[in-house]
Amino acid sequence: PNTVQNRAIRSFLGVHRYASNVAIQGDVGWKWPVVRRKLEMMKLLKRLLLMSGDRLTKKIFIWDWHHKSRTWSWYVRSVLKSTGQDAVCDIDPSAEEPDIDFNTLFDQVDQELMNVEIEKWHAEMGRQSKLHIYRELKTDFIPEPYVVSNMSKSSRSFIAQLRTGTLPLMVEVGRFQQKKREERTCPYCKGETIEDEMHFIFSCPLYANFRDDFMDRINNRINIANKSNMEKMGIFMEHSIFGSFIRDCYYKRSDYIFNTT
């Protein structure tokens, strides 16, 4: 049910199909399709309950509501019960003015459904080892600043790749090459250090000039002197110039590897 939405998110973020669904869903913060579908069922329930009793559609609904098989009404009641709205299950569908505050009902059902899905999201995020940096950066299921900011597709893509652990560094490429983590070393540092995201951004001397320029530009906007590297990473991702910095470093990396092989 999430396939189409995930494709749309990947296209917007500029990441490939191996990017974690958990990470891309978390960064855009969209409602899951299953939640939207159930909310639409609640809206249809409202229409049916408020419908005139002399209409054929209403008569069929009343029959369906009292039927014991797994009909549409049975599924609606299962959603209501799972979200703590048991009282609504006992209403008389033939009543002309049902005693229901539909706005409150919709809000509470929406919140409970989202809480369930967010709990699943947190659990799945904890199971994916490649998201170790992402877990440090991401705590709440809300749209990330880089997603809602007006930045170029290129900058957004490189930030998204770094966040989701899909930027083609050795820590990721080595996974497909069946290499142990300790063997996924930086091609420039000659096997001394694992080439992961933190090494790429903060340590590798190959990008020293780009890094110095980037740090100067960031420091002109916000003081990061007393921040940890992980805290700095979170701050960087709110700025489009971080995407440009990642892009420049990655292209330099590609040129270096091409010229030395």
pLDDT score of 190: 81
Q: What is the pLDDT averaged over residues 82-104?
A: 91
- 69 pLDDT band, cuts 50/70/90, is confident
Q: For residue range 197-233, what is the model confidence (pLDDT) as tens digits?
A: 999 999 999 999 999 999 999 998 888 888 999 999 9
Q: For residue range 32-61, what is the model confidence (pLDDT) as tens digits?
A: 999 999 999 999 999 999 999 999 999 999
Q: H or E element: which one contains 143?
A: none
- 119 pLDDT band, cuts 50/70/90, is very high
pLDDT score of 16: 92
From 29, 254, 27, 257, select the one nearest 157 (Cα to Cα): 27
**Alpha-carbon torsion angle 83, 89, 91, 96, nearest 10:** 70
pLDDT score of 225: 85
From 170, 173, 231, select the one nearest 202 (Cα to Cα): 231
Using a pLDDT cut of 90, give the percent of the chain over it. Answer: 84
pLDDT score of 98: 87
pLDDT score of 129: 85
Q: For residue range 173-197, what is the model confidence (pLDDT) as tens digits?
A: 998 898 998 999 999 998 779 999 9
Distances (CA, A) of 218 to 11, 204, 215: 28, 19, 5
Q: What is the pLDDT averaged over residues 63-85?
A: 93
pLDDT, greater one: 245 or 2: 245
pLDDT score of 252: 96
* Position 261 pLDDT exceeds 80: no
- 31 pLDDT band, cuts 50/70/90, is very high
Using a pLDDT cut of 70, give the percent of the chain over it. Answer: 100
pLDDT score of 132: 87
pTM of the model: 0.87
Q: Around Cβ 246, how many Cβ atoms within 10 Å?
A: 26
Q: For residue range 132-154, what is the model confidence (pLDDT) as tens digits?
A: 889 999 989 999 999 999 899 99
Q: H or E element: which one contains 133?
A: helix 132-137
